[in-house]
Amino acid sequence: MEHNSVIEQMRQLIQLIAKHNHAYYVMDQPSISDSEYDHLFHQLKALEQQHPEFIQADTPTNKVGGQALSKFESVTHTVPMLSLNNVFEEDELLAFANRVEERLPNQKIQYDVELKFDGLAISLWYENGVLIRGVTRGDGETGEDITQNVKTIRNLPKILSSNDYPIPRLLEVRGEVLMPKAGFNNLNRHLKKRGEKEFANPRNAAAGSLRQLDSQITKNRPLAFYAYGVAQCIPDNNIGTISGNLDWLKHFGFENYDHWVVDNIQHAQKKYEQLIAERPNLSVEIDGMVIKVNSLEQQKQLGFISRAPRWAVAYKFPAESKTTEIRQIDWQVGRTGILTPVARLVPIFVGGTTISNATLHNIGEIHRLDVRIGDKVEVYRTGDVGVTMNSSISSRTQLDFQMAV
Ligand code: IVH
To test the ligand 1 pocket, which listed residue (122, 290, 316) has its Cβ within 8 A of the most ligand atoms? 290
Q: What is the pLDDT along the chain (405 residues), one digit of tens a residue?
A: 567 799 999 999 999 988 887 666 555 567 888 788 888 988 999 999 999 889 887 787 765 444 567 789 999 999 999 999 999 999 999 999 999 999 999 999 999 999 999 999 999 999 999 999 999 999 999 999 999 999 999 999 999 989 899 999 999 999 999 999 999 999 999 888 889 888 888 999 999 999 999 999 999 999 999 999 999 999 999 999 999 999 999 999 998 889 999 999 999 999 999 999 999 899 999 999 999 999 999 999 999 998 899 999 999 998 767 788 889 999 988 778 888 888 888 888 776 677 788 878 888 888 887 888 888 887 766 543 333 334 333 333 344 444 332
Q: Specify which residues 295 forms β-bridges with.
A: 241
Report the SS3 class of residue 125: strand
Cα 231 to averaged position of ligand 1 atoms, centre (Å): 12
Ligand 1 centroid distance, CA of 394 (Å): 39
Distance CA 245, CA 165 (A): 12
Compute, in angstroms, the gap from residue 104 CA to the centroid of ligand 1.
23
pTM, two decimals, is: 0.73
Q: Is the CB of 309 under 6 A from ligand 1?
A: yes
Residue 314: CB within 6 Å of ligand 1? yes
CA 64 from centre of chain:
21
Question: What sign results for the dihedral spanned by CA atoms 240, 242, 248, 249?
Answer: positive
- Side-chain half-sphere of 106: how many Cα atoms within 13 Å? 0
* Alpha-carbon separation of residue 218 from 125, 291, 326, 365, 368 (angstroms): 19, 32, 38, 45, 49
Nearest-5° angle of CA 22, CA 24, CA 30?
120
Q: Is the dihedral of CA 343, 345, 351, 354 positive or negative?
A: positive
Long-range contacts of 192-195, Cβ-Cβ distance < 8 Å, separation of 24 or more: none
* Ligand 1 pocket residue status of 399, Cβ below 6 Å: no
* CA–centroid distance, residue 138 to ligand 1 (Å): 13
Atom index in ligand 1 nearest the CA of residue 259 equals 15
Note if 71 is an active site residue.
no
Contact predicate 363/352, CB 8 Å: no
CA of 82 to the centre of ligand 1 (A): 8
- Domains detected in the chain: 3-54 (1.10.287.610), 74-316 (3.30.470.30), 320-402 (2.40.50.140)
On the 0-12 / 13-18 / 19+ scale of CB atoms within 10 A, 353 is buried
The finding on whether 84 has its CB within 6 A of some atom of ligand 1 is yes
Distance between CA atoms of residues 57 and 132, nearest Å: 10
Distance between CA 58 and CA 62 in Å, rounded? Answer: 9
Determine which residue's CA is closest to atom 13 belonging to ligand 1. 121
Distance, CA of 186 to CA of 129 (rounded, Å) = 33
Q: Which of 19, 45, 71, 116 is catalytic?
A: 116
> Which residues, listed in sequence order, are joined to residue 339 by a DSSP beta bridge?
333
Strand partners, 330: 342
Return the number of other C-beta atoms located less than 10 Å from residue 350's C-beta.
22
pLDDT tens digit sequence for 83-126 = 999 999 999 999 999 999 999 999 999 999 999 999 999 999 99
Cα 108 to Cα 252: distance, rounded to the nearest angstrom: 30
Please tell me the residue having the least CA distance from ligand 1 atom 12. Answer: 116
